[in-house]
Amino acid sequence: MTTILTNPLRVGLRQERVISPQCIVIFGASGDLTHRKLIPALFELFRQRRLPSEFAVLGCARRPWSDEEFRQKMGDSLAEQVAEHPRAWDAFAQGLFYEPVDLQQPEHLVRLGTRLEAVDRLRATRGNRTFYLSVSPEFYGSGCRALAGAGLLADPERSRVVIEKPFGRDYASAQALNKVVQACAKESQVFRIDHYLGKETVQNILVLRFANTIFEPIWNRNYIANVQITAAETVGVEERAGYYESSGALRDMVQNHLTQILALTAMEPPGRFDPEAIRNEKAKVLQSAHLAREDEPWKCCVRGQYAAGGSRAQPLSGYRQEPGVNPNSTTETYVAMKVFIDNWRWQGVPFYLRTGKRLPKRLSEVVLTFREAPVHLFDAAGGAPTPNQLILRIQPDEGADIKFEVKAPGSGMRSRPVDMAFSYDESFGEPSDEGYVRLLADAMLGDPTLFTRSDEVEAAWRLYTPLLELIEEAPWQLPVHPYEARTWGPAASDNLLAEDGLIWRRP
């Protein structure tokens, strides 16, 4: 991408919504997510003056750090930004505090309550508190119980809790966790985070569909032949082997990120732009979705696992050779599947979902392929006319393309496909906020639009239950096909589409 001068007139104009005085309490403050994502996101909000002066961060973890040590460690991890904006960091760091807390120890919660009152007085944060559970998933339920037990979630207007993914391991565990969480707090206080929804381009699916009249009339089974949703990564498992071995691509990517994109792509228009109206529609469409062959799920799903590959100059290990991975692992690093949505809009339209690690490109996109013209009047340069496609590029090179046929120059009447492209870079030229910046701001604003509601989470898990059960009970029916690293997945995945006379789009 070419270097683009920032728009000097744009500075300071992203302050439309104002966050109330606030104390954000981060459990797991000594963990990776805090210094890699959360504190940088909060510092970015601070620099953009989107945080009020009455703001505090209270880091909580088991380590016996002091306020000063916490500030120092956070500053060290943001060394580059701190060096660039030293005065802003000094001001921001004054609002950083630390309290050693073990959520399993009731007396620690009592002490936390006292400390929060002190922070409230010191920083005038008015009792508005956002509790961020950046802890191991097995502590989500007990963490909520501990907070509720200490009375810290008692005021539904002024306290809320943010829960990281994964929310459960399957439908049953998600249901059980929802029960625990809902016993501790009202649904309006619970913010289940999926950082994919923080991406500008994911949100743009809503705007593209519902702020324009040209798309919605053709956004249905009458005009759309199939939909492909892809999230491809070039990286391998990296340092996450411990987590990934027990989750795999289905739990790590499909159940949350891809399913959220599916919901936004397929949902009905909400009556108004209101968090509950939007989440109602997302939940409804997920409740209508099902695997193409629920009775024989192995026929509509393919699992894969990357094997060694790369080039001679840059050889890449296979998944089973990665550090921390079981040499006989059957965890999938690639999954592709076919889903149907049983409603008036989408009946009979296949949705193909795929995600994988060590694929040739890093990209996420939604491709809507339209039905062919009923009669071919013209010769096509490629033999047959290429179906129209609308491609929503979620990352990188965010934007959208429309593919359509035009007359090829010359004396004949041959058609050929061309692209009409919209690019965020070319139109706006400003990098979008990182997903956590948007989502943390929304959580503190109490705006749940971009967070998943309990019924959405459960519907998403229920959609994949036949697959999860099959993997659990009869894994041989859904084998893990090896694929060479830096290729587009196993051949079986191509066959999944070939059965319908289709191919995956090669981006």
What 3-state class would DSSP assign to 152? Answer: coil
C-alpha 108/C-alpha 100 separation (Å) is 8
**Which one from 257, 290, 376, 481 is the annotated catalytic residue?**
257
CB 365 within 8 Å of CB 225: no
Angstrom distance (rounded) from CA 73 to CA 66:
11
> Which of 325, 336, 386 has its CA nearest to residue 491?
336
Stretch that binds other proteins, among 202-210, 271-279, 406-414, 425-433 (CB under 8 A): 425-433
Query: Please, what is the angle between helix 275-288 and helix 259-266, to 10°?
Result: 100
How many residues of this chain bind other proteins (CB under 8 A)? 32
> Does position 194 bind other proteins by CB under 8 A?
no
Least Å distance, CB 113 to other proteins, is 14
Nearer to other proteins, 421 or 470 (CB): 421
With binding defined as CB under 8 A, does residue 20 bind other proteins?
yes
Distance (Å) of CA 233 to CA 143, 162, 283, 463: 32, 27, 27, 23
The yes or no reply on residue 87 touching other proteins (CB under 8 A) is no
* Stretch of 10-18, 219-227, 304-312, 495-503 lying at the interface with other proteins (CB under 8 A): 10-18
For the bound state, the minimum distance from the C-beta of residue 3 to other proteins, rounded and expressed in Å, comes to: 10
* Interface characters, 154-173, with other proteins (x: CB under 8 A): -x-x----------------
Task: Please tell me whether residue 13 binds other proteins under the rule CB under 8 A.
Answer: yes
SS3 for 456? helix
Specify whether 257 is catalytic.
yes
Q: Is 377 in the site for other proteins (CB under 8 A)?
A: no
Prior bond to 374 cis, omega within 30? no
18 scored as a contact of other proteins (CB under 8 A): yes
11 binds other proteins (CB under 8 A): yes
Q: How far apart are CA 239 and CA 389, in angstroms?
A: 38
Taken in order 450, 391, 310, 327, the sign of the CA dihedral is positive
Asked if residue 426 binds other proteins (CB under 8 A), the reply is: yes
Q: Whole-number minimum distance, CB 10 to other proteins, in Å?
A: 5
Q: How far is the CB of 7 from other proteins (least distance, A)?
A: 5
Interacting span for other proteins (CB under 8 A) from 351-359, 424-432, 463-471, 481-489: 424-432
Nearest to residue 37, comparing CAs of 442, 440, 451? 440
Contact status: 105 vs other proteins (CB under 8 A): no
Under rule CB under 8 A, residue 126 binds other proteins: yes
| DSSP helix/strand/coil, 413 | coil
Q: How far is the CB of 53 from other proteins (least distance, A)?
A: 4
Among 39, 42, 43, 52, binds other proteins (CB under 8 A): 52
Assess 425 for contact with other proteins (CB under 8 A): yes
Tell me the closest approach of the beta carbon of residue 183 to other proteins, in angstroms.
21
Helix (H, G, I), strand (E, B) or coil at 41: helix
Over the window 263 to 292, marking each residue x when it contacts other proteins by CB under 8 A and - when it does not, the resulting string is: ------------------------------
Q: Which of 179, 159, 155, 157 is nearest to 167 (CA)?
A: 179
H runs (alpha helix) in 250-362: 259-266, 275-288
- Tokens for 362, please give them: 């890093």
> Per CB under 8 A, does 124 bind other proteins?
yes
Residue with tokens 């050929």: 416
Window contacting other proteins (CB under 8 A); options: 232-240, 279-287, 422-430, 477-485: 422-430
In whole angstroms, how close is the CB of 18 to other proteins at the nearest point?
3
Show Cβ contacts of residue 279 under 8 Å, excluding neighbours closer than 6 positions: 448, 449, 452, 453, 456
CA 222 distance to own-chain centroid: 30
Record the tokens describing residue 153, joined without a space: 């979630």
* Candidate segments 52-60, 73-81, 138-146, 165-173, binder of other proteins by CB under 8 A: 52-60
3-state SS assignment for residue 9: coil
Contact flag: residue 84 with other proteins (CB under 8 A): no
**Rounded CA separation 355/232 (Å):** 5
Just list the catalytic residues.
Answer: 257
Interface with other proteins (CB under 8 A)? 4-5, 7-13, 18-21, 49, 51-54, 120-121, 124-127, 155, 157, 425-430
